[in-house]
Structure 1
Amino acid sequence: LRTKSSRTIASTQYWTIEVPRKDIKEFLKARQELFKVAKGKKGISLNVGGNKYFGQNVSPDILLVFITDIDENDRMVTEKITAAAKALGEIVKEKKVPFVKNNYEKLINPFVHSKLKVALVGEGGVGKTTTLHLLMGKIPPKQYIPTIALAMEVIDNIHFANYSIVLWDFAGQERFRKLWKLYFLGADIVFLLTDSTLRNILISKDMFQMIRRDAPHVPIITIANKQDLPNALDPSIIERIIGAETHPLIAIDLAYRNSML
Structure 2
Amino acid sequence: MGLFSGLLNWLRSLFWSKSMDIACIGLQNAGKTSLVNILTNNQFSESMIPTVGFNLRKIQKGNVTLKVWDLAGQPRFRSIWERYCRGVNAIVWVLDSADRETFSTSRAELHALLEKAELKGIPLLVLANKNDLPDHATVDEVISALGLATIRNREVSCYAISAKSSRNIDITLAWLMKRA
TM-score bucket of the superposed structures, by smaller chain: 0.7 to 0.9
Contact 2:132/2:165 (8 A) holds in 1: no
In structure 2, stretches of 5+ residues that fail to align are: 149-155, 174-180
Contact 1:137/1:257 (8 A) holds in 2: no
Which residue of 1 is the match for residue 68 of structure 2?
A: 167
1:143 corresponds, among 42, 47, 58, to: 47
CA gap of 1:125–1:115, structure 2 versus 1, over 3 A, is: same
**RMSD (Å), alpha carbons:** 2.1
Render the CA deviation track for 1:132-183: whole Å, top value 9, x for unaligned. Answer: 1110123212213110101001113x24xx5321111000001011111111
SS at match of 1:203: helix
TM-score by length of 2: 0.81
Distance 1:124 1:149 in 2: 12
1:158-197 equivalence runs, <5 A: 158-159=61-62, 162-196=63-97, 197=99
Which residue of 1 is the match for residue 20 of structure 2?
A: 116
Distance 1:138 1:101 in 2: 29
Render the CA deviation track for 1:100-158: whole Å, top value 9, x for unaligned. Answer: 567533321122212110100011111011001110123212213110101001113x2
Distance 2:64 2:140 in 1: 28
Q: Does residue 113 of structure 2 align to residue 211 of structure 1?
A: yes
1:82-101 equivalence runs, <5 A: 100=4
Deviation at 1:226, TM superposition (A): 0.5
Contact 1:195/1:226 (8 A) holds in 2: yes
Contact 1:116/1:188 (8 A) holds in 2: yes
CA gap of 1:139–1:98, structure 2 versus 1, over 3 A, is: closer
TM-score by length of 1: 0.57
Deviation at 1:204, TM superposition (A): 1.8
In structure 1, stretches of 5+ residues that fail to align are: 1-96
Deviation at 1:99, TM superposition (A): 5.9
Deviation at 1:186, TM superposition (A): 2.4
Which residue of 1 is the match for residue 139 of structure 2?
A: 235
Identity %: 22
Deviation at 1:202, TM superposition (A): 2.0
Contact 1:192/1:204 (8 A) holds in 2: no
Which residue of 2 is the match for residue 64 of structure 1?
A: none
Would you say how many aligned residue pairs link Structure 1 and Structure 2?
A: 162
Contact 1:128/1:193 (8 A) holds in 2: yes
Distance 1:230 1:102 in 2: 49
The amino acid across from 2:100 in the alignment is L
Distance 1:192 1:258 in 2: 17
